[in-house]
Amino acid sequence: MGLKEYTFTDKIDTRSGFGVGLAEIGDQNENVVALCADLTGSLKMNAFKDAHPERFFQIGIAEANMMGIAAGMTIGGKIPFTGTFANFSTGRVYDQIRQSIAYSHKNVKICASHAGITLGEDGATHQILEDLGLMKMLPGMTVINTCDFEQTRKATHAIAAHNGPVYLRFGRPAVPNFSSELPFEIGKGILLQEGTDVTLVATGHLVWEALEAAKSLHKQGISAEVINIHTIKPLDDALILESVKKTAAVVSCEEHNYLGGLGESVARVLAEQHPTPQAFVATQDTFGESGTPAQLMEKYGLNAASIVKKAKEVLAKKA
Protein backbone atom coordinates (compact mmCIF):
# COMPACT_ATOMS: atom_id res chain seq x y z
CA MET A 1 0.00 0.00 0.00
CA GLY A 2 1.42 3.37 -1.03
CA LEU A 3 1.57 6.42 1.18
CA LYS A 4 -0.34 9.60 0.60
CA GLU A 5 1.92 12.57 0.08
CA TYR A 6 1.36 15.59 2.30
CA THR A 7 3.20 18.69 1.23
CA PHE A 8 3.57 22.16 2.60
CA THR A 9 4.93 25.36 1.23
CA ASP A 10 5.67 26.99 4.52
CA LYS A 11 6.09 26.39 8.20
CA ILE A 12 3.93 28.68 10.30
CA ASP A 13 2.68 28.78 13.87
CA THR A 14 -0.79 27.50 14.75
CA ARG A 15 -1.50 30.66 16.75
CA SER A 16 -1.34 32.64 13.51
CA GLY A 17 -4.13 30.43 12.19
CA PHE A 18 -6.17 31.49 15.20
CA GLY A 19 -5.39 35.14 14.57
CA VAL A 20 -6.45 34.97 10.93
CA GLY A 21 -9.54 32.92 11.75
CA LEU A 22 -10.58 35.31 14.52
CA ALA A 23 -10.27 38.32 12.23
CA GLU A 24 -12.33 36.55 9.56
CA ILE A 25 -15.20 35.62 11.87
CA GLY A 26 -15.03 39.07 13.42
CA ASP A 27 -15.81 40.46 9.96
CA GLN A 28 -18.62 37.97 9.44
CA ASN A 29 -20.37 37.99 12.80
CA GLU A 30 -20.87 41.16 14.81
CA ASN A 31 -21.60 39.15 17.95
CA VAL A 32 -18.03 37.88 18.08
CA VAL A 33 -16.04 39.68 20.77
CA ALA A 34 -12.44 39.09 21.82
CA LEU A 35 -10.87 39.42 25.25
CA CYS A 36 -7.17 39.35 25.98
CA ALA A 37 -5.09 39.38 29.15
CA ASP A 38 -2.15 41.49 27.99
CA LEU A 39 -0.90 39.09 25.31
CA THR A 40 -2.48 40.53 22.17
CA GLY A 41 0.63 40.12 20.03
CA SER A 42 1.46 36.65 21.31
CA LEU A 43 -2.09 35.48 20.55
CA LYS A 44 -2.06 37.18 17.12
CA MET A 45 -5.21 39.09 18.01
CA ASN A 46 -4.01 42.40 16.53
CA ALA A 47 -5.88 42.00 13.26
CA PHE A 48 -9.20 41.57 15.09
CA LYS A 49 -8.36 44.43 17.43
CA ASP A 50 -7.50 46.77 14.57
CA ALA A 51 -10.61 45.90 12.56
CA HIS A 52 -13.05 45.87 15.47
CA PRO A 53 -11.65 47.96 18.34
CA GLU A 54 -15.12 48.34 19.91
CA ARG A 55 -15.39 44.56 20.20
CA PHE A 56 -11.90 43.99 21.57
CA PHE A 57 -11.53 44.01 25.36
CA GLN A 58 -8.11 44.43 26.90
CA ILE A 59 -8.59 42.95 30.36
CA GLY A 60 -5.08 43.35 31.71
CA ILE A 61 -3.16 40.67 33.58
CA ALA A 62 -6.25 39.35 35.30
CA GLU A 63 -7.25 36.03 33.80
CA ALA A 64 -9.83 35.13 36.43
CA ASN A 65 -11.64 38.37 35.76
CA MET A 66 -11.38 37.72 32.02
CA MET A 67 -13.15 34.36 32.31
CA GLY A 68 -15.93 35.89 34.40
CA ILE A 69 -16.38 38.83 32.05
CA ALA A 70 -16.49 36.44 29.11
CA ALA A 71 -19.19 34.40 30.84
CA GLY A 72 -21.20 37.56 31.52
CA MET A 73 -20.82 38.82 27.97
CA THR A 74 -22.68 35.79 26.61
CA ILE A 75 -25.77 37.12 28.39
CA GLY A 76 -27.16 39.32 25.64
CA GLY A 77 -25.86 37.19 22.80
CA LYS A 78 -22.16 37.86 22.42
CA ILE A 79 -19.71 35.08 21.50
CA PRO A 80 -16.58 35.81 23.54
CA PHE A 81 -13.16 34.48 22.53
CA THR A 82 -10.62 34.72 25.34
CA GLY A 83 -6.95 34.76 24.51
CA THR A 84 -3.96 34.04 26.70
CA PHE A 85 -1.34 31.31 27.15
CA ALA A 86 -2.67 27.80 27.77
CA ASN A 87 -1.34 27.75 31.30
CA PHE A 88 -3.21 30.93 32.21
CA SER A 89 -6.27 29.78 30.24
CA THR A 90 -6.78 26.65 32.31
CA GLY A 91 -4.92 25.86 35.51
CA ARG A 92 -4.84 29.44 36.70
CA VAL A 93 -8.58 29.92 36.22
CA TYR A 94 -9.99 26.45 36.61
CA ASP A 95 -12.66 27.32 39.14
CA GLN A 96 -13.82 30.34 37.16
CA ILE A 97 -14.19 28.16 34.06
CA ARG A 98 -15.84 25.39 36.04
CA GLN A 99 -18.53 27.48 37.72
CA SER A 100 -19.10 30.54 35.54
CA ILE A 101 -18.58 28.92 32.12
CA ALA A 102 -18.93 25.11 32.12
CA TYR A 103 -21.55 24.58 34.85
CA SER A 104 -23.37 27.71 33.69
CA HIS A 105 -23.12 26.46 30.08
CA LYS A 106 -21.92 29.77 28.69
CA ASN A 107 -20.97 30.13 25.04
CA VAL A 108 -17.35 31.09 25.72
CA LYS A 109 -14.43 30.08 23.48
CA ILE A 110 -11.28 29.68 25.56
CA CYS A 111 -8.44 30.07 23.07
CA ALA A 112 -5.08 29.04 24.39
CA SER A 113 -1.72 29.58 22.79
CA HIS A 114 1.78 28.47 23.79
CA ALA A 115 0.43 25.12 24.91
CA GLY A 116 2.77 22.29 25.78
CA ILE A 117 6.50 22.03 25.90
CA THR A 118 7.15 23.75 22.54
CA LEU A 119 6.62 27.09 24.23
CA GLY A 120 10.33 26.58 24.66
CA GLU A 121 12.77 28.84 26.42
CA ASP A 122 10.37 30.31 29.00
CA GLY A 123 10.44 26.96 30.75
CA ALA A 124 8.15 24.88 32.94
CA THR A 125 6.24 27.72 34.61
CA HIS A 126 4.66 28.46 31.25
CA GLN A 127 4.65 24.99 29.64
CA ILE A 128 1.36 23.44 30.64
CA LEU A 129 1.17 19.71 29.93
CA GLU A 130 -1.99 19.11 31.95
CA ASP A 131 -4.52 21.36 30.22
CA LEU A 132 -6.24 18.76 28.04
CA GLY A 133 -6.95 16.66 31.10
CA LEU A 134 -8.21 19.62 33.10
CA MET A 135 -10.54 20.74 30.37
CA LYS A 136 -11.84 17.39 29.16
CA MET A 137 -12.97 16.54 32.70
CA LEU A 138 -15.40 19.46 32.71
CA PRO A 139 -18.90 18.27 31.73
CA GLY A 140 -20.09 19.91 28.52
CA MET A 141 -16.70 21.26 27.50
CA THR A 142 -15.58 20.67 23.91
CA VAL A 143 -11.80 20.27 23.71
CA ILE A 144 -9.84 20.82 20.49
CA ASN A 145 -6.08 20.68 19.81
CA THR A 146 -5.15 21.70 16.29
CA CYS A 147 -2.17 20.53 14.25
CA ASP A 148 -1.30 23.37 11.88
CA PHE A 149 -2.13 26.89 10.72
CA GLU A 150 -4.97 25.94 8.42
CA GLN A 151 -6.64 23.55 10.85
CA THR A 152 -6.49 26.19 13.56
CA ARG A 153 -8.04 28.77 11.25
CA LYS A 154 -10.86 26.38 10.35
CA ALA A 155 -11.36 25.38 13.97
CA THR A 156 -11.73 29.02 14.95
CA HIS A 157 -14.57 29.31 12.45
CA ALA A 158 -16.13 26.07 13.61
CA ILE A 159 -16.18 26.92 17.29
CA ALA A 160 -17.83 30.27 16.59
CA ALA A 161 -20.69 28.39 14.98
CA HIS A 162 -20.86 25.83 17.81
CA ASN A 163 -23.14 26.67 20.75
CA GLY A 164 -21.41 25.86 24.01
CA PRO A 165 -18.11 26.25 25.83
CA VAL A 166 -14.98 25.25 23.93
CA TYR A 167 -11.30 24.94 24.78
CA LEU A 168 -9.15 25.51 21.69
CA ARG A 169 -5.48 24.66 22.18
CA PHE A 170 -2.70 25.74 19.85
CA GLY A 171 0.93 26.75 20.04
CA ARG A 172 3.95 28.83 19.32
CA PRO A 173 6.39 26.96 17.06
CA ALA A 174 6.34 27.12 13.27
CA VAL A 175 5.16 23.74 11.97
CA PRO A 176 4.35 22.46 8.46
CA ASN A 177 1.09 23.87 7.18
CA PHE A 178 -0.22 20.88 5.26
CA SER A 179 -3.97 20.59 5.94
CA SER A 180 -5.37 23.11 3.43
CA GLU A 181 -7.28 20.46 1.51
CA LEU A 182 -8.59 18.65 4.59
CA PRO A 183 -12.06 19.20 6.03
CA PHE A 184 -12.63 20.27 9.62
CA GLU A 185 -15.65 19.22 11.60
CA ILE A 186 -15.79 19.30 15.41
CA GLY A 187 -15.72 15.72 16.72
CA LYS A 188 -14.69 14.14 13.43
CA GLY A 189 -11.21 12.67 13.26
CA ILE A 190 -9.32 12.64 9.98
CA LEU A 191 -7.84 9.52 8.42
CA LEU A 192 -4.56 10.85 7.06
CA GLN A 193 -2.81 7.64 6.10
CA GLU A 194 -4.21 4.17 5.57
CA GLY A 195 -2.28 1.26 7.01
CA THR A 196 -2.67 -2.25 8.34
CA ASP A 197 -0.09 -2.93 11.07
CA VAL A 198 -0.43 -0.16 13.64
CA THR A 199 -2.62 2.90 14.20
CA LEU A 200 -0.98 6.21 15.09
CA VAL A 201 -3.56 8.46 16.74
CA ALA A 202 -2.09 11.96 16.89
CA THR A 203 -3.13 15.43 17.94
CA GLY A 204 -1.61 18.91 17.76
CA HIS A 205 2.05 19.33 16.87
CA LEU A 206 2.52 15.54 16.93
CA VAL A 207 0.39 15.04 13.80
CA TRP A 208 3.15 16.00 11.37
CA GLU A 209 5.58 13.90 13.40
CA ALA A 210 3.20 10.95 13.07
CA LEU A 211 3.12 11.38 9.29
CA GLU A 212 6.92 11.42 9.25
CA ALA A 213 6.98 8.35 11.48
CA ALA A 214 4.61 6.55 9.08
CA LYS A 215 7.04 7.23 6.22
CA SER A 216 9.92 5.86 8.23
CA LEU A 217 7.93 2.77 9.25
CA HIS A 218 6.89 2.24 5.64
CA LYS A 219 10.54 2.06 4.62
CA GLN A 220 10.99 -0.61 7.25
CA GLY A 221 8.08 -2.64 5.95
CA ILE A 222 5.58 -1.59 8.62
CA SER A 223 2.25 -0.21 7.45
CA ALA A 224 1.03 2.54 9.77
CA GLU A 225 -2.43 4.08 9.71
CA VAL A 226 -2.41 7.72 10.81
CA ILE A 227 -5.44 9.36 12.36
CA ASN A 228 -5.60 13.02 13.33
CA ILE A 229 -7.80 13.49 16.35
CA HIS A 230 -8.18 17.26 16.67
CA THR A 231 -11.25 17.03 18.90
CA ILE A 232 -10.22 15.35 22.15
CA LYS A 233 -13.78 15.69 23.40
CA PRO A 234 -16.18 14.57 22.09
CA LEU A 235 -13.85 11.85 20.85
CA ASP A 236 -14.40 10.20 17.47
CA ASP A 237 -14.70 6.71 18.98
CA ALA A 238 -15.94 5.15 15.75
CA LEU A 239 -12.95 6.16 13.65
CA ILE A 240 -10.48 4.90 16.24
CA LEU A 241 -12.32 1.61 16.75
CA GLU A 242 -12.63 0.98 13.04
CA SER A 243 -8.89 1.42 12.66
CA VAL A 244 -7.72 -0.71 15.59
CA LYS A 245 -10.05 -3.53 14.58
CA LYS A 246 -7.88 -3.69 11.48
CA THR A 247 -4.42 -2.98 12.96
CA ALA A 248 -4.76 -4.39 16.51
CA ALA A 249 -2.14 -1.97 17.83
CA VAL A 250 -2.21 1.73 18.62
CA VAL A 251 0.21 4.52 19.49
CA SER A 252 -1.27 7.73 20.85
CA CYS A 253 0.81 10.83 20.15
CA GLU A 254 0.41 14.13 21.95
CA GLU A 255 2.31 17.03 23.46
CA HIS A 256 0.79 16.50 26.88
CA ASN A 257 1.21 14.42 29.99
CA TYR A 258 0.29 10.79 29.41
CA LEU A 259 -2.02 11.21 32.41
CA GLY A 260 -5.19 12.94 31.34
CA GLY A 261 -4.50 13.46 27.67
CA LEU A 262 -5.63 12.02 24.35
CA GLY A 263 -3.94 8.70 25.09
CA GLU A 264 -6.08 8.10 28.15
CA SER A 265 -9.23 8.97 26.23
CA VAL A 266 -8.26 6.45 23.55
CA ALA A 267 -7.42 3.84 26.19
CA ARG A 268 -10.83 4.24 27.79
CA VAL A 269 -12.63 3.68 24.51
CA LEU A 270 -10.51 0.64 23.72
CA ALA A 271 -10.78 -0.82 27.21
CA GLU A 272 -14.55 -0.62 27.03
CA GLN A 273 -15.08 -1.70 23.46
CA HIS A 274 -12.05 -3.36 21.94
CA PRO A 275 -9.05 -4.00 24.23
CA THR A 276 -5.92 -3.31 22.20
CA PRO A 277 -2.20 -2.98 23.00
CA GLN A 278 -1.35 0.73 23.23
CA ALA A 279 1.81 2.79 23.57
CA PHE A 280 1.87 6.41 24.66
CA VAL A 281 3.98 9.11 23.05
CA ALA A 282 3.54 11.83 25.63
CA THR A 283 5.41 13.35 28.54
CA GLN A 284 5.80 10.95 31.41
CA ASP A 285 4.24 12.82 34.35
CA THR A 286 6.94 15.45 34.40
CA PHE A 287 7.32 19.21 34.15
CA GLY A 288 9.18 20.70 31.20
CA GLU A 289 12.25 22.95 31.13
CA SER A 290 13.94 25.64 29.06
CA GLY A 291 15.27 24.82 25.60
CA THR A 292 14.43 25.20 21.95
CA PRO A 293 11.22 23.48 20.84
CA ALA A 294 13.16 20.93 18.79
CA GLN A 295 15.52 20.15 21.65
CA LEU A 296 12.61 19.69 24.03
CA MET A 297 10.63 17.48 21.64
CA GLU A 298 13.74 15.32 21.29
CA LYS A 299 14.53 15.15 25.00
CA TYR A 300 10.95 14.40 26.04
CA GLY A 301 10.35 11.85 23.31
CA LEU A 302 7.77 13.79 21.32
CA ASN A 303 9.02 13.42 17.74
CA ALA A 304 8.84 11.07 14.77
CA ALA A 305 11.77 8.98 15.99
CA SER A 306 10.04 8.39 19.28
CA ILE A 307 6.80 7.44 17.54
CA VAL A 308 8.67 4.88 15.40
CA LYS A 309 10.26 3.39 18.51
CA LYS A 310 6.93 3.14 20.35
CA ALA A 311 5.24 1.66 17.30
CA LYS A 312 7.76 -1.16 17.23
CA GLU A 313 7.30 -1.74 20.96
CA VAL A 314 3.57 -2.03 20.64
CA LEU A 315 3.84 -4.26 17.57
CA ALA A 316 5.88 -6.68 19.68
CA LYS A 317 2.93 -6.92 22.08
CA LYS A 318 0.45 -7.90 19.39
CA ALA A 319 -1.04 -11.31 19.91
Partner 1 sequence: MASIETIEQLLPQVRRDILRMVHQVNSGHPGGSLGCTEFFVALYQHVMDYSTDFNMDGKNEDLFFLSNGHISPVFYSVLARSGFFPVSELATFRKLNSRLQGHPTTHEGLPGIRIASGSLGQGMSVAIGAAETKKLNNDKHMVYSLHGDGELQEGQNWEAIMYAGGKGIDNLISTIDYNKQQIDGSTDDVLPLGDVGAKLETFGWTVINVEKGNDVPAILAGFEAAKAASGQQKPVAILLHTVMGNGVDFMMHTHAWHGKAPNDEQLAIGLAQNEETLGDY
What is the smallest separation between the CB atom of 64 and partner 1, expressed in angstroms? 4
Is 63 tagged catalytic? yes
Is residue 138 near partner 1 by the rule CB under 8 A? no
Is residue 11 near partner 1 by the rule CB under 8 A? no
Helix pair 206-219, 304-316: axis angle to 10 deg:
60
Contact 256, 131 (CB under 8 A): yes
How many CA atoms does the CB half-sphere of 241 hold within 13 Å? 12
Strands of 32-36's sheet in order across: 56-58, 32-36, 79-85, 109-113, 166-169, 142-145, 231-233
Is residue 76 near partner 1 by the rule CB under 8 A? yes
Is residue 39 near partner 1 by the rule CB under 8 A? no
Is residue 86 near partner 1 by the rule CB under 8 A? no
C-alpha distances out from residue 258 to 102, 130, 178, 310, Å? 24, 9, 26, 14
Among 17, 19, 26, 68, binds partner 1 (CB under 8 A): 68
What is the smallest separation between the CB atom of 33 and partner 1, expressed in angstroms? 7
How many residues touch partner 1 (CB under 8 A)? Answer: 32
C-alpha–C-alpha distance, residues 304 and 174, integer Å: 16
Is residue 80 near partner 1 by the rule CB under 8 A? yes
Candidates 5, 24, 54, 63; catalytic one: 63
Among 60, 91, 234, 275, binds partner 1 (CB under 8 A): 60
Segment lying near partner 1 (by CB under 8 A), choices 69-77, 124-132, 200-208, 273-281: 69-77
Query: Can the peptide bond before residue 275 be classed as cis, meaning omega within 30 degrees of 0?
Result: no
The candidate with the shortest Cα–Cα distance to 247, out of 259, 239, 258, 235, is 239
Name the DSSP class of 270: H
Q: What is the binding site for partner 1 (CB under 8 A)?
A: 33, 54-55, 57, 59-60, 62, 64-78, 80, 95-96, 98-100, 103-106
Active-site amino acid positions? 63
